[in-house]
Amino acid sequence: MTDADAVRRVGLALPRVYEREVRGRWKLKVGQIVFVAFSRDETDMGFGFPKAEREGLVASDPSTFYLPGPADMRYQWVCAHLARLDEDEMRELVIDAWRMCTPRMLHDLPDLPAPAAQVWDLVERQQWHDVRPLLHPSLHLDDRDISLRGRTQVLDHLRNHPTPKPPHHVEIRDGQVYRWVR
């Protein structure tokens, strides 16, 4: 069993995501694209899901999943009763919906150990004060032909260069990113 707060924890931890209230309903968005929306009482959620597969999802568990109203059938969208979803299934549905509206280069970030996705999101937003405590003092950054050592050197580089592409591999030590490899 899950709830709207658990969905928010998963969704808001993903890069580029923010929450907005639209006509009395809370929605998780990337840019202008909604990938999760809650019912007014927050007991149900709608989420991005491929049109070609949604009939199969609903048929697999009709007590959990249902099709959206007629006005939303044109969208890649399906709905679920939150109380009938377990945490793992909810996480998978939310991340897959997020992947439908983000560039492919970001798709592996949720699978990396925390706080890799958060670090990349903060770097992209240039929130340097919030990035610093998530980086290990002896950070190693290897990005193609660039190899840097030390948190201060890496931060100086990032401030003066475009946002790097997300890492393929990270190593975490003491809850901080110790190695960032692309």
Residues 113 and 87 in one domain: no
**DSSP state, residue 102:** S
Residue ending a domain, among 102, 137, 154, is 102
Task: Give the H/E segment covering residue 167.
Answer: none
Based on the domain organization, do 98 and 8 belong to the same domain? Answer: yes
Q: What is the model's pLDDT at position 119?
A: 95
CA atoms within 13 A on the CB side of 122: 16
- Residue 9, both tokens: 């924890």
Q: How far apart are the C-alpha atoms of 40 and 2, rounded to whole Å?
A: 16
Mean pLDDT across the stretch 16-36? 96
Local structure of residue 144 (DSSP, 8 states): T
Domain-ending residue, one of 45, 80, 102? 102
Q: Give the whole-number percent of the chain exceeding pLDDT 70.
A: 100
Residues 90 and 114 in one domain: no
pLDDT per residue as tens digits for the range 47-85: 999 999 999 999 999 999 999 999 999 999 999 999 999
Q: Among 102, 122, 155, which residue terminates a domain?
A: 102
Same domain, 62 and 93: yes
| 133 shares a domain with 73 | no
Encode pLDDT of 113-171 as tens digits: 999 999 999 999 999 999 999 999 999 999 888 999 999 999 999 999 887 889 999 99
Query: Which pLDDT score, from 0 to 100, does residue 40 have?
Result: 96
One domain for residues 77 and 152: no
Same domain, 135 and 96: no
Quote the pLDDT of residue 163. Answer: 78
**Helix and strand totals (H; E) in the chain:** 6, 10
Q: Are 42 and 7 in contact (CB under 8 A)?
A: no
Containing structural domain, residue 118: 109-181
Q: Please indicate, yes or no, whether residues 171 and 139 belong to a single structural domain of this protein.
A: yes
**Does the pLDDT at position 15 exceed 90?**
yes
d(CA 116, CA 173): 12
Are the beta carbons of 77 and 46 closer than 8 angstroms?
yes
At 152, which CATH number? 3.10.450.50
Clarify whether residues 93 and 17 are in a common domain.
yes
3-class SS string, 52-89: HHHHHHHHHCCCCEECCCHHHCCCCEEEEEHHHCCHHH
Residue 58: CATH number of its domain: 3.90.1150.30
Pairwise CA distance, residues 142 & 112, whole Å:
16
81-111 pLDDT tens trace: 999 999 999 999 999 999 999 999 999 999 9
Give the dihedral sign, CA 46/47/49/53: negative
Q: Say how many domains are in the chain.
A: 2
Task: Output the pTM of the full model.
Answer: 0.91
